[in-house]
Amino acid sequence: MPTFYNQASLSLGGQITNSNTTEAELLSGLTLTKTAITASYGAGDGVVYAVTLTNAGGSVYTNLTVTDDLGAYTLPDGTTTVVPLTYADGSIRLYLNGILQTPPTVTVVDGQLTVTGIDLPANGTATLLYEATANGFAPLAAGSTITNTASVLGGAGIGTLTAEATVTADEAPQLTIAKAVCPAIVTDNEELTYTLIVQNLGNTPINATDGLTVSDTFSPILSNITVTLDGAPLAEGTGYTYDDTTGAFTTLDGAVTVPAATYTQDPVTGAIVTTPGVAVLTITGTV
């Protein structure tokens, strides 16, 4: 807490006499803490925060204002600031000494969240709960974090109190699969090709030890199939199994690997673009 000093002086006929200097410490009963209820995030995920104001003193605080920068950070150009979290409208909750209150007033200006009109009685505790969503400025690469700071004006002589909370980007694969057929119209004894595209939007690759398999059952059943993975031949028995009586096709554990996505940030806008890791499996046979 801040220490303050005071000194008196006498002035007579151009002569100045100073008193001794007094020293005192200004204590505030107000403290601020912030906790991320949600420890990690992915693209579009919601993160829940708790901001707690505690008044351990005998004075009442009225009309307090709490702000949250929602993780704002400056781009390498040193001038552009982006905000990686977006407040979820209507998510604010205020608890006073554990009892739910009427929601306070919330405004968002330039991405910063401001909550006004909080009254805190002596020996009281107010907790704000709210949610923010990871948006297109949220870093997603492995090891990335978002640190955001809440603040409140602590009263005369106390200054602004701040508290931070940090959440970490999820480290996991995020897979999708799409299927295409060519040609779209085929007759008996003609060749048909299925293309299976596996995409990884996550920041962790799928390795051979992860045991990924791709399965399909072809109808009509294909005969004399050939299989490629990312353009390279995949052999039956070591890369896949196929039952030409049922049309059931399955890659063996670990035969298909998928790299992690890569992330690039526009140096002007700050928007983060995700380029998925891709594995392409093609199966060609005769119908």
pTM of the model: 0.81
pLDDT digits (tens, 9 = 90+) for 55-65: 988 888 999 99
Rounded to whole angstroms, the Cα distance separating 116 from 26 reads 25
Of 145-159, 225-239, 266-280, the poorest mean pLDDT is in: 145-159
Quick one: pLDDT band at residue 142, thresholds 50, 70, 90? very high
Q: Assess contact for 106 and 92: CB atoms under 8 A.
A: yes
Residue 28 has pLDDT above 60, yes or no: no
Residue 1 has pLDDT above 50, yes or no: no
Rounded to whole angstroms, the Cα distance separating 20 from 37 reads 51
Q: Which pLDDT score is estimated for 11?
A: 79
Q: Which pLDDT score is estimated for 4?
A: 56
* Intrachain domains 26-169 and 175-286 with the same fold: yes
Quick one: pLDDT band at residue 14, thresholds 50, 70, 90? confident
Q: Which pLDDT score is estimated for 3?
A: 64
pLDDT digits (tens, 9 = 90+) for 68-91: 999 999 999 889 999 999 999 999
| Residue whose C-alpha is closest to residue 261's, from 198, 201, 172 | 201
Report the CATH number of the 175-286 domain: 2.60.40
pLDDT digits (tens, 9 = 90+) for 105-135: 999 999 999 999 999 999 999 999 999 999 9
Tell me the sheet residues that pair with 181: 194
Q: Which pLDDT score is estimated for 189?
A: 87
Q: Which pLDDT score is estimated for 242?
A: 97
Residue 287 has pLDDT above 60, yes or no: yes
Residue 25 has pLDDT above 50, yes or no: no
Only one residue has tokens 């400025």, namely 137
Fold of 26-169: Immunoglobulin-like (2.60.40)
Q: Which pLDDT score is estimated for 158?
A: 60
Q: Which pLDDT score is estimated for 7?
A: 74
Domain ranges of the chain: 26-169, 175-286
Which of 20-25's residues contact partners 24+ apart within 8 Å by CB, and which partners?
Answer: 25/1
Mean pLDDT of 96-110: 95
Q: What average pLDDT does the structure give for the chain?
A: 92
| Residue whose C-alpha is closest to residue 265's, from 129, 108, 76 | 76
Report the percent of the chain where pLDDT is more than 90: 81
CA dihedral 141, 142, 143, 145 (to 10 degrees): 40
Mean pLDDT of 173-180: 97
pLDDT digits (tens, 9 = 90+) for 183-218: 988 888 899 999 999 999 999 999 999 999 999 999
pLDDT digits (tens, 9 = 90+) for 240-283: 999 999 999 999 999 999 999 999 999 999 999 999 999 999 99
